[in-house]
Amino acid sequence: MSGNAHEPSCLFCKIVRGDIPSSKVLETEDAIAFLDIHPVNKGHVLVVPKHHHPHLVELPEALAAHVGSILPRLCRAVQAATGADGFNVIINNGTAAGQTVDHGHWHIIPRFHDDPVEWPWPHSEYVGDELGQMRFRIERELRPNPNDD
């Protein structure tokens, strides 16, 4: 799988290389999954592509697809092993979203009906034509750029 070289100062690259120990639960050719050392709830797993890409938006589609393909099996295992009532799959992207390790990764967080986790987050409302405007802006960004080949 193509991708960036390992980043020597990156915590998760060090874990991928085995320079820092981790409690690994699954390893594939392109990704590893291990226990988060400070779990939101016990059994909290991180899924980390082996190649260094700081953020989700930089991941090659094939690598993102690979991680997506192993998520259901990992989530079933986390839920069965913890007896969780449910789970959250979350990616924090950028410091504004709470990302602290700049090596893109997925969180699988087991959840319990009576756990103290503050979730869900608050919701807001669109006013006037804001909803249509937002749809237009995102759709426009998704259109192929005529300058790209």
Q: Which residues contact Zn ion (rule: CB under 5 A)? A: 7, 10, 12-13, 52, 103
The answer to whether the CB of 34 falls within 8 A of the CB of 22 is yes
38 interface partner picked from Zn ion, ligand 5GP, none, CB below 5 to 8 A per type: ligand 5GP
For the CB of residue 53, give the shortest distance to ligand 5GP in the complex, in Å.
13
The CA distance from 145 to 100, in Å, is 32
Q: Which residues contact ligand 5GP (rule: CB under 6 A)? A: 11, 20, 22, 34-38, 46, 92, 98-101
Angle (nearest 5°) at CA 57 between 56 and 62: 75
13 interface partner picked from Zn ion, ligand 5GP, none, CB below 5 to 8 A per type: Zn ion
* Active-site choice (53, 105, 113, 123): 105
The CA distance from 48 to 52, in Å, is 9
For the CB of residue 63, give the shortest distance to Zn ion in the complex, in Å.
13
For the CB of residue 14, give the shortest distance to ligand 5GP in the complex, in Å.
8
Tokens representing 142 are: 């998704």
Catalytic residue at 105?
Answer: yes
The CA distance from 92 to 85, in Å, is 23
The answer to whether the CB of 43 falls within 8 A of the CB of 5 is no
Which residues are tagged catalytic? 105
